[in-house]
Structure 1
Amino acid sequence: MKLTPLGDRVVLKQLEAEEVTKGGIILATAAQEKPQQAEVVAVGPGGVIDGKEVTMQVKEGQNVIYSKYAGTEVKLDGEEYIIVKQSDILAIVE
């Protein structure tokens, strides 16, 4: 099954959380901080959203950093995704 976002929405797949600190301490799953970095899986078409022209600036396959409490979490075919508005994406990681 494929997710196709509408409007200015972007589907993200969250990258794995750090399991070991820089000092070498192994973190339990509950202690791991949820990463704010994700891979773009699908991008909506953009267009006129709320009377304003929106041009999509991200592409599939890019790694991005998004707002900590942004988006809607969705589970599909055993995979977890986050659907966010493009404005919730803060930066593209090169």
Structure 2
Amino acid sequence: MAKRLIPLLNRVLIEKIVPPTKTSAGILLPEKTTKLNSGKVVAVGPGLRDREGNTVPVSLKEGDTVLLPEYGGTDVKLGEKEYLLFRDEDILGKLHE
């Protein structure tokens, strides 16, 4: 049975993107080109509540590709996959292609 984690409050579940270390032709890529710390949003919480009790939604949605800080996040393992859990405000930015 597969487990699914639904984050609470303003938390975001990220699957880290591991860049390739070599090209399709077998050429090894230098470490600098594979250094971008990014991930894909797997699940988001509903958001925080303001003083009036209204929900302030998370600024990301499932499927977004994001730039992650070098340190931080909570490691989460579900089955064979490993994820990171971040607060919405800890995410550095959204990457567009």
TM range, smaller chain: 0.7 to 0.9
The residue that corresponds to 2:90 in the other structure is: 88
- Give the aligned length: 89
Q: Aligned Cα RMSD in Å?
A: 2.9
1:2 to 1, 4, 15: 4
Q: Structure 1 stretch 40-49 or stretch 72-81: which is displaced more?
A: 40-49
The residue that corresponds to 1:43 in the other structure is: 44
Amino acid at match of 1:66: L
- Which has the greater radius of gyration? 2
Give the Cα–Cα distance (whole angstroms) in 1 for the partners of residues 89 and 69 of structure 2: 9
The residue that corresponds to 1:67 in the other structure is: 69
Amino acid at match of 2:37: Q
With the length of structure 2 as denominator, give the TM-score of the two structures: 0.75
Q: Structure 1 stretch 78-87 or stretch 34-43: which is displaced more?
A: 34-43
Instruction: Verify the 8 A CA contact 1:13 1:81 in the aligned structure 2.
Output: yes
Q: Secondary structure at the match of 1:57?
A: coil
Q: Secondary structure at the match of 1:83?
A: strand
Runs (4+) of structure 1 moved beyond 6 Å?
A: none
Q: Does 1:19 align with 2:44?
A: no
Deviation of the 1:75 alpha carbon: 1.1
